A = this chain, B = another copy of it.
Amino acid sequence: MNANDKQAVKDIVGAENYSDSLIDLVTYSYDASDHDHRPEAAAWPTTTDQVAAILRLANASRFPVTPRGAGTSLAGGVVPAQGGLVLDLVRMNRILAVNIVDRQVVVEPGVVYADLQKLLAPQGFCFPPDPASGKVCTIGGNVATNAGGIRGAKYGVTRDYVLALEVVLPDGRVTRTGSRCMKSVSGFDLTRLFVGSEGVLGVITEITLKISPKPLASRTCQASFATLDQAGRAVTAIMHSGVVPSVLEIMDQNTIRVLREKGGMDLPPVNAMLLVETDGYTAGEADYQMDRVLEIFRQGGAQTIDMAQSADQVEALWAARRKAGSTAGQLRPYNLSEDVTVPMSQLPALLTGIAGIVEGYGLPFVVFGHAGDGNLHPKIMYDRRDPEQVTNVHKAADEIFALTCSLGGTLTGEHGVGLAKAPYMHLEHDANALELMRSIKRLLDPNNILNPGKMNLDV
């Protein structure tokens, strides 16, 4: 970006919504991954027209534009890999409509996930995906990454709730996709072309989301197992039983040890734990499903089974799972946090395989995740200042991705490709699929101005 470009951006959004100060640029070099690259300027647009004007300018002057929400990407998704402008959408944060009868809300992309939940809860409704970063992440980021979360096994991911979008295309044209109806098959599914496209095909400026009634009853239980494999088999047995828990989380022995030793949590010294929640309109419905789960745990040799008897006990069971990532992160200055996912039947193989791989490199690691949809979070701690650790963490990642794909899995269940998984895309996708993705990118963004360098699309 030259001085004219910067002045032009400043003119579009106003001086109060523009910065090229060093402190802002350093801040915008990062997201929640271990990638970074410094941008040349940052803007906080407040209207769709401003976004459109910026993209027209970027196309004319050929500077990169990286759209950004709260910056919680664990894949380098919002790191401005080729410099240019960071387009921070957090000031477009109005909730434009809440319509309970139509079961939908209309929001700007900068609305924080938790703020929407707070508004919906008193009316008995929710937007279910429940990403771990829900307290800070934005709905725009959820949509751009098709964010999953802790209730995915039963309630699906962001994609399942996006009815319609307003999108600014890379050339500055504004379009509306989808429909505010509960269903529509009118033309190609442009909405889902943009959902999960990680800001490389357009900038999402308005989102219509389907909302769901909040379950009225739930049951929560925690079980521990002597081996990770036993826990994995219990998960597949639950899937086979026909019960669909609203939560089915797993923690490995390293996670449990870190939570005991660093997190000061009162957990048994076991090798694997599962956290399960069932729900429904009625307590009987939640009980029926939990009874099936408990039967499976008993037959599967669970060492302990703790049923929460009160809201406080539910919170106590949840505390461990919620703190797993941040507590483990304290072990070394940097960490690689992945979200490999496999078909359910392959979960035991992935669990034991990851442990075998990372142990071989002598780095501290934990594995936890959303077992109910086959999505594991191996988190490997390392110190970037030690070249050997850097080499080893990348070798471990290479092997984990190769193992995952050999098990019929996917590189990323919910974090997105970004920079982190870009080099591995060929492991999962055939050459024709990759070329199709690249040709769609070239079709919409021939000058490659939108979030360049991501998803292995630049050829």
Which positions in A face B, CB cutoff 8 Å? 99-104, 124-125, 145-146, 148, 152-153, 156-157, 159-160, 169, 173-177, 179-190, 192-193, 195-197, 201, 212-214, 236, 239-240, 242-244, 280-282, 284-285, 288-289, 341-345, 373-375, 408-417, 421, 425, 428-430, 432-434, 436-437, 439-440, 443-444, 455
List, in ascending order, chain B residues with CB within 8 A of A374's CB.
181-183
* A185 and B196 form a contact (CB under 8 A): yes
* A185 and B125 form a contact (CB under 8 A): no
Q: Which residue of B lies closest to A197 (CB)?
A: B188
* A185 and B414 form a contact (CB under 8 A): yes
User: For the complex, what is the distance from the CA of A449 to the CA of B196, rounded to whole Å?
Assistant: 30
User: For the complex, what is the distance from the CA of A367 to the CA of B126, rounded to whole Å?
Assistant: 33
List, in ascending order, chain B residues with CB within 8 A of A201's CB.
188
* A432 and B181 form a contact (CB under 8 A): no
* B148 and A183 form a contact (CB under 8 A): yes
Q: What's the minimum C-beta distance from A234 to chain B, rounded to whole angstroms? A: 12
List, in ascending order, chain B residues with CB within 8 A of A373's CB.
181-183
Q: Which residue of B lies closest to A212 (CB)?
A: B244
* A186 and B412 form a contact (CB under 8 A): yes
* A437 and B188 form a contact (CB under 8 A): yes
Q: In the assembly, how many copies of this chain are there?
A: 2
Q: Which residue of B lies closest to A421 (CB)?
A: B186
* A181 and B341 form a contact (CB under 8 A): yes
Q: What's the minimum C-beta distance from A88 to chain B, rounded to whole angstroms? A: 22
Which 5 A-B pairs have CB atoms at the shortest separation, nearest pair first? A213-B242, A184-B410, A175-B432, A285-B285, A182-B373
User: For the complex, what is the distance from the CA of A344 to the CA of B197, rounded to whole Å?
Assistant: 29
* A152 and B345 form a contact (CB under 8 A): no
Known: A152-B182, A185-B196. 5 other contacts (CB 8 A): A145-B185, A186-B411, A188-B197, A192-B192, A280-B281
List, in ascending order, chain B residues with CB within 8 A of A188's CB.
193, 196-197, 201, 437, 440
List, in ascending order, chain B residues with CB within 8 A of A243's CB.
213, 281
The 8 sampled A-B contact pairs (Cβ below 8 Å) are A148-B185, A179-B428, A182-B374, A182-B375, A183-B341, A185-B413, A187-B455, A280-B280
Question: Which of A236, A288, A444 is most buried by chain B, counting CB atoms within 10 A of its CB?
Answer: A288
List, in ascending order, chain B residues with CB within 8 A of A416's CB.
185
* B183 and A414 form a contact (CB under 8 A): yes
List, in ascending order, chain B residues with CB within 8 A of A289's CB.
281
User: For the complex, what is the distance from the CA of A322 to the CA of B409, rounded to whole Å?
Assistant: 41
List, in ascending order, chain B residues with CB within 8 A of A413's CB.
181, 183-185
* A244 and B213 form a contact (CB under 8 A): yes
User: For the complex, what is the distance from the CA of A101 to the CA of B213, rounded to whole Å?
Assistant: 28
* B345 and A101 form a contact (CB under 8 A): yes
* A187 and B417 form a contact (CB under 8 A): yes
Q: What's the minimum C-beta distance from A224 to chain B, rounded to whole angstroms? A: 23
User: For the complex, what is the distance from the CA of A207 to the CA of B99, rounded to whole Å?
Assistant: 36
User: For the complex, what is the distance from the CA of A207 to the CA of B244, rounded to whole Å?
Assistant: 23
* A180 and B440 form a contact (CB under 8 A): no
Q: What's the minimum C-beta distance from A199 to chain B, rounded to whole angstroms? A: 12
Q: Which residue of B lies closest to A422 (CB)?
A: B187
List, in ascending order, chain B residues with CB within 8 A of A213's CB.
242-244
List, in ascending order, chain B residues with CB within 8 A of A439's CB.
443
List, in ascending order, chain B residues with CB within 8 A of A124's CB.
242
A410: which of B145, B186, B195, B411 is its contact (CB, 8 Å)?
B186
List, in ascending order, chain B residues with CB within 8 A of A185's CB.
145-146, 148, 157, 196, 412-417
Q: What's the minimum C-beta distance from A97 to chain B, rounded to whole angstroms? A: 11
User: For the complex, what is the distance from the CA of A69 to the CA of B450, rounded to whole Å?
Assistant: 40
Q: What's the minimum C-beta distance from A175 to chain B, rounded to whole angstroms? A: 4
* B183 and A189 form a contact (CB under 8 A): no
Q: What's the minimum C-beta distance from A340 to chain B, rounded to whole angstroms? A: 9
* A174 and B432 form a contact (CB under 8 A): yes
List, in ascending order, chain B residues with CB within 8 A of A157's CB.
183, 185
Q: What's the minimum C-beta distance from A440 to chain B, rounded to whole angstroms? A: 6
